[in-house]
Copies of this chain bind each other. A is one copy, B any other.
Amino acid sequence: MTNGGGINSSTHLLDLLDEPIPGVGTYDDFHTIDWVREKCKDRERHRKVNKTQNTADAGNLKRTQKSLETLSALAGLIDIAADWMTDMKEGICLNAMWFNHEQCCWGSNEPTFEARNKCPQWKTWAELIIGQADGPGSYIMNYIMYIFWALSFAFLAVSLVKVFAPYACGSGIPEIKTILSGFIIRGYLGKWTLLIKTITLVLAVASGLSLGKEGPLVHVACCCGNIFSYLFPKYNKNEAKKREVLSAASAAGVSVAFGAPIGGVLFSLEEVSYYFPLKTLWRSFFAALVAAFVLRSINPFGNSRLVLFYVEYHTPWYLFELIPFILLGVFGGLWGAFFIRANLAWCRRRKTTKFGKFPVLEVIIVTVITAVVAFPNQYTRKNTSELIKELFTDCGPLESSSLCDYQTDTNVSQLVDDIPDRPAGQGVYDAMGKLALALIFKIIMTIFTFGIKVPSGLFIPSMAIGAIAGRIVGIAVEQLAYHHHDWFIFNQWCNVGADCVTPGLYAMVGAAACLGGVTRMTVSLVIIVFELTGGLEYIVPLMAAVMTSKWVGDAFGREGIYEAHIRLNGYPFLDAKEEFTHTTLAANVMRPRRNEVPLTVLTQDDMTVEDLEATINETTYNGFPVIVSKESQRLVGFALRRDITIALENARRKQEGIVTSSRVHFTQHTPTLPADSPRPLKLRSILDMSPFTVTDHTPMEIVVDIFRKLGLRQCLVTHNGRLLGIITKKDILRHMAQMTNQDPESIMFN
């Protein structure tokens, strides 16, 4: 781009610099990319390709499909392996070791679910080791084996992460947001991270920790996308194009995690994508849909449904029920705000104190506490996904769960779909007590679990907390309506013998509200949950709860958990959604400030190689403005430090006659020099002749807008045509932190 130097033929014999210098135009690790330049590079490449040949798209399509199939296969594999290992904590299938509990008892002929669950092929550890199936001895044996396996899995997971791929820990979404906004973290989406994250995700889920696999699956999807983008020079060599692939990959990730392709597209659009041209919309949609369908053909959930928690409700909701739904929204908002604060405080403590030096020990302690507390309670012992499924499901005639232990009305046939509201039996009250305990346990453990050094997602724990709270509220409303159906709020719609309250719907609304409180997603969340149920009918309750949850959560702090973790880690992320509302001008933000040393600049034709090298060595800036002369201060262009260094090295090595006293010029024509002077070095080809400029009077809100929309790395500030200073992305972030009274240096770039 802007390679104006090639037009006039040089007077010298050899002018290598008109050729592109290898390495010019690439980025260092932990640097920010320049979106405008990357997009230009791509169009340049495109024009060249169009001139020489029209590459067939069929191969690309095939490779994309392969990539999506790999992702779906991985997602299916994770599901199957995690299920198997979760059950391994309790026992093993004697006939076929590789079967999980459900598959093991599949062929069993027992009449009820209850009895089938205890089929003879499936042996608990107590049965295997001490030969007892019941009694306190066997309980203790099972308890010990449960803790042993949980500990083994967790230890293996944290060791693998620590030794092979430190980037594999956590949910990965904060980092993916940062990468998509234009930051470079090498290896974060590499093959090692992919491999280790996949393995340790299975181990972490199986260990019974309070974490989910959905967030990490988005990271896994982005790794797949990144690795497959190496196959295409178009995407591999261009950081902007690569990010388009990653946008689509994250949509595919959510799509396979929940079986919600449209929700995945909107998640990618609303939550992770930064610089999202509309043309990516179609690709995201395509990726999400293909991934979802490949996953369905693998069928890991064993129910030939696309979605993770498929539910079908038979009764509509009533206007009055909006009150408990909104209350659930308030609960979700409060939980979200509380969780973000508590988790952030804990993570900060881990970062700043000695305690953070022992990640393996931390994981072991958290695992042991989780396992010890979780085992006695059936709702915490089981897989969290299964718990959510049970809570979402309405009590049908064949349901054997103790949550459905209602006093049966003998007049009503057991096989009618619409079972009227009934008084709760003892089993329901017992279950509610256990659920309340499970709620407290989940709330506490999730705070300490999110952030430990194993792959850990937040979606499932948050949804579990919401689902438990929702189910409790739902049963309470149901019983209230049954026992007091003459109250004026109930008597409008809830007759005796009618099925008017669906506790499963409350669980779903609660799950959406809690997830909304933590992540502050809105549209995409409603659509993900809508795709789980498939009924437009329940969108209004979901919207009401999610909206309330967002409002309540925002009252305590506008950041979602991902933004909070981005800030905690000090990534240079300029949020596209947050509005800049201050009245400062560019002149207040630019460097140098008043009374500071003036800006380090290069002049276009009166510096020597020595001067240039001295400037490079004395400063640490990433780039330098080039001006006409010190007197006029009129701006010519901008040269990047990395490019200058590479060009100088290249010239010293390859170009004859370039010595320390050689004149460096950025102009198009070589300046006339005395006859005995050494050969000049021409650097116009590395000069960016179209740097972005704003005037010193430009309001910062416009400057922030330009940085966001165009994805700039830096911008020069002028006054009446003279160069005054420079504003970089980090200057803007620092300024924004100052404006909200945070100490900018303490939180950033550590």
Contacts and interface: CB of A to CB of B under 8 A. Distances in A.
A702 interface: yes
Contacts of A705: 36, 39, 710
A279 B558 CA distance: 14
Interface string A621-637: 00000001000111111
Contact of A689 (B540, B697, B706, B709): B697
Contacts of A4: 697
Interface stretch (A136-144, A172-180, A575-583): A575-583
A633 B722 CA distance: 11
A721 B39 contact: no
15 contacts: A2-B697, A36-B702, A36-B705, A43-B581, A43-B701, A262-B262, A262-B527, A281-B523, A282-B522, A534-B534, A628-B720, A637-B695, A691-B695, A709-B709, A710-B710
Interface string A615-653: 000000000000010001111110000000000000000
Nearest to A273: B278
Interface in A652-707: 689-691, 693-695, 697-699, 701-702, 705-706
Contacts of A702: 36, 40, 690
Contacts of A540: 289, 293
Nearest to A522: B282
Interface of A: 1-2, 4, 36, 39-40, 43, 46-47, 261-262, 265, 269-270, 278-279, 281-282, 285-286, 289, 293, 306, 522-523, 526-527, 531, 534, 536, 539-540, 543, 547, 576-577, 579, 581, 583, 586, 628, 632-637, 689-691, 693-695, 697-699, 701-702, 705-706, 709-710, 718, 720-723
- CB-based closest 5 A-B pairs: A634-B721, A690-B698, A689-B697, A721-B721, A709-B709
Contacts of A699: 1-2, 40, 690
A691 B720 CA distance: 11
Contacts of A261: 536, 539
B701 A690 contact: no
Nearest to A582: B47
A58 B689 CA distance: 52
Residue among A278, A536, A547, A637 with the highest chain B CB neighbour number at 10 A: A536
Contacts of A43: 579, 581, 701
A87 to B, nearest CB: 30
A1 B693 CA distance: 19
A285 B523 contact: yes
Contact of A40 (B690, B701, B718): B701
Given A285-B523, A710-B705, A635 B721 contact: yes
Residue among A278, A579, A637 with the highest chain B CB neighbour number at 10 A: A278
Contacts of A278: 269-270, 576-577
A380 B556 CA distance: 61
Instruction: Please state the number of chain copies in the assembly.
Output: 2
Contacts of A586: 690
B47 A583 contact: yes
B635 A720 contact: yes
A265 B266 CA distance: 11
Nearest to A527: B262
Nearest to A259: B536
A284 to B, nearest CB: 9
A706 B710 contact: yes
Given A697-B2, A701-B40, A526 B721 contact: no
A632 B721 CA distance: 9
A653 B278 CA distance: 50
A407 to B, nearest CB: 34
A689 B637 CA distance: 22
Given A43-B579, A709-B709, A289 B539 contact: yes
Nearest to A35: B705
A710 B702 CA distance: 9
B579 A720 contact: no
Contacts of A526: 285
Given A690-B697, A705-B39, A265 B720 contact: no
A523 B265 contact: yes
Contacts of A691: 695
Contact of A718 (B46, B270, B633, B721): B721
Contacts of A262: 262, 527
A686 B579 CA distance: 26
Residue among A47, A286, A689 with the highest chain B CB neighbour number at 10 A: A689
Given A285-B523, A540-B289, A718-B721, A581 B635 contact: no
Nearest to A706: B710
B523 A282 contact: yes
A46 B690 contact: no
Contact of A721 (B1, B40, B628, B706): B628
Contacts of A2: 697, 699
A408 to B, nearest CB: 32
Contacts of A1: 699
A203 to B, nearest CB: 32
A464 B697 CA distance: 57
Contacts of A709: 709-710
A47 B581 contact: yes
A13 to B, nearest CB: 28
Nearest to A46: B581
Nearest to A723: B721
Given A270-B281, A278-B576, A693 B690 contact: no
Contacts of A293: 540
A436 to B, nearest CB: 33
A278 B289 CA distance: 23
Nearest to A531: B536
Contacts of A581: 43, 46-47
Nearest to A577: B278
A694 B1 CA distance: 15
Contacts of A527: 262
Contacts of A722: 634, 721
A534 B533 CA distance: 11
A286 B522 CA distance: 11
A619 to B, nearest CB: 23
